[in-house]
Every structure is written in C-alpha cells, then in structure tokens.
Amino acid sequence: MRSIVVGYDGSEHALKAVEFAANEASSRQAPLRLVHAFTPPMGGAGLGYGMVLPADALETMRDSIAANLATDVAELRTRFPDVDIDATVIVGNSAAALLEESAEAQLLVVGSRGLGGFRGMLLGSTGIQIASHSTCPVVVVRDLPEPDAKKVVVGLDGSELSQAALAWALDYASRHGLILHAVHAWTLPSFDLLAAPAGPGSADLQTITEEEQRSAAESLAGFRDRYPDVTIEETVIKESAAKALLNAAKDAALIVVGTHGRGEVMAAVLGSVSQTLLRKADVPVVVVGPDTGGADLGTGS
C-alpha cells in the first residue's frame, strides 16, 4: 500500500502535520513516511562568494538530523503501534523532495510554516508549487481540528475536479464518522452596464439561483447511495467561494477543495480560493488535484 508522506522539520507546525498524518495513517491502515529535506548552508558569503560545505561537514549535519528524526519516529511508534513508520533525510529543495515523494504516496501532508527549507511553505511560491503539482492530494495543516469537530466541508462547482474533492471528502467523513457539508457558492456573471445599468433583473437572478441549485444536486447525485452512512448537508449560496467555505467550517474537521490544473497559469487560479483558505482556515485544508484518481482517493491502493 502507498504511504502517507509528511514533511517534517521539527517545528511546531510540522508536529501538527505529523499528528494529522499519523492519525490518518492509522485510520487507513497505511504506512507513514516522514521526510526531512534541508538545503546545506553556504560558506564564505562574507567574502562575496559562496562555498559548498565539505562532504564530511555535510554528512555530519545529515547524521545529526537523522538522529533527531529517529528519536521522534521511536516516540511515534510508541503512540501509534499499528502504523508502519519510516523516515528519510534528503539534502535538497524541500518542495522538489516532497513532489518527488508524492509520486508514490496516497497523501502528502505539510504544515503551514516551518524551519529551514520548509519556512513559509504555504504562504509563498513553494506552497503553490506543491499544491499545484503534487500527484496525490495535499493536506495543509495550519492547526488541528477540535476534538468535537462534527463535519467535513467540501467545495462544489460542478466540475470533475470538485467531484474528485467530493469523493475524497466523503471517504474521510465515512471513516471518521463525520457529517459531509457540501458548499456550492456562486456569484453573478458579469453584465453590460450600458445595456443593463441596474444590473441583472429579478427574473434572471431567480433563474440563475435555480440553475446553481440544480448543479449542486447533480454533483451530489449518486454519492448518497455510495455513502449511506454519511449524513450529507448542502448549502447553495450567492457568495464568494472562499468566504462561504470559511463560514461553513466553524465546527469542521477540515476543508476539501479541488485545484484547476497544472502549470503557472493554473497555479494562479489555485491561489485565488485555495490560498485564501490556507492563510485563514483554522482547520486543515485538503487540495485535490486532477491526477489523484477521483473515486479511488480514499483507498490509496
């Protein structure tokens, strides 16, 4: 079975990510893999040039990190005896290391901030890169949910990608005994001010509302039968997607959203909603991309 991979550097946020990842590994009966990636410091900067550390110094640094990591893994094995746990130390860029690991993972978990190579991961280009290009779903842990969290919030927009996010969210809700709260947020389309200076008419607004409600119902069709153990709540609201999802997540365990594709242009689309959630959500945010397998998201097989 493919592993759940978590980026780890010993920071407070990384510890929260490990906690989430270990619990999820236990729930899925999946292996857990801790990855600590670091970029070695450069010497001689004060003289106006950079010099790579000698091989023995680099090895000493790596051994020190590995020793600390081994101690943390031993503690985790005591707390989660049912989980097969391993760890690795990688010299190199953290984003590149995690993206490479994602190719063989069923889930990638990272903290919202960290030390060294993980610093500012989710608030800068590195986080966008990971969430946009990972070949498995990415969980961003800004903070852990409250123990009495009741639901999973998922964003719907009628696309295939939101269907993949819905499949992931339902699987999680089913395994953890939570309610599924599907949020379909919409805003009015642009219109010609010269042709309609007062905006769209009331009849048009009613029609749009009905169409959005129908789209949400179609997105959920079939999933109720596949997950009869999950109570599904539905909200269709005229509001920005980020605001609607954050408002719905007051007592949630996590928020699940789909990305819109790959590459720099699509990554910018990811940033419009997902990055707002990454900055402001008080619970983990799951980003499900187009290469993650839809209905197979929960199995990891």
**Together in a domain, 80 and 181:** no
Q: Which residues contact 165 (CB under 8 A, 6 or more apart)?
A: 154, 155, 256, 257, 258, 286, 288
Residues near 68 by Cβ (< 8 Å), separated by ≥ 6? 10
In the block, residue with structure tokens 């219109």: 191
- Amino acid type, 70: A
Q: Based on the domain organization, do 245 and 282 belong to the same domain?
A: yes
Residues 6 or more apart whose Cβ sits within 8 Å of residue 154: 162, 165, 166, 169, 180, 181, 182, 183, 255, 256, 257
> 13 with 68, same domain?
yes
For residue 20, give its domain range.
3-141
Note whether residue 146 is domain-resident.
no
CATH number at residue 58: 3.40.50.620
pLDDT of residue 193: 45
pLDDT at 103: 92
pLDDT at 52: 61
Q: What is the pLDDT of residue 267?
A: 41
The pLDDT of residue 200 is 54
Domains of the chain: total: 2
Residues of the chain with confidence (pLDDT) below 70:
41-53, 113-129, 188-206, 208, 210, 212, 216, 260-272, 290-301
CATH no. for residue 289?
Answer: 3.40.50.12370
The answer as to whether 250 is a domain residue is yes
Position 80 scores a pLDDT of 97
CA geometry: angle 241, 242, 246, nearest 5 deg: 115
Are 46 and 125 in the same domain?
Answer: yes
The angle, 0 to 180 degrees and rounded to 10, between the axes of the packed helices 125-133 and 263-280 is 110
How close are the terminal C-alpha atoms of the chain, in Å? 6
Longest alpha-carbon distance in the chain: 74
Q: 171 with 220, same domain?
A: yes
Domain boundary among 141, 171, 200: 141
Q: Given this model, what pLDDT does residue 241 score?
A: 87
Domain shared by 229 and 156, yes or no: yes
Residue 62: closest CA among 39, 96, 34, 86: 39
Establish if 301 belongs to a structural domain.
Answer: no
- Please state, as a whole number, how many other Cβ atoms lie within 10 Å of the Cβ of residue 197: 8
Q: What is the pLDDT of residue 208?
A: 66
Give me the pLDDT at residue 199, please: 55
- Of 109, 141, 173, which residue is a domain's last? 141
The DSSP code for 19 is H
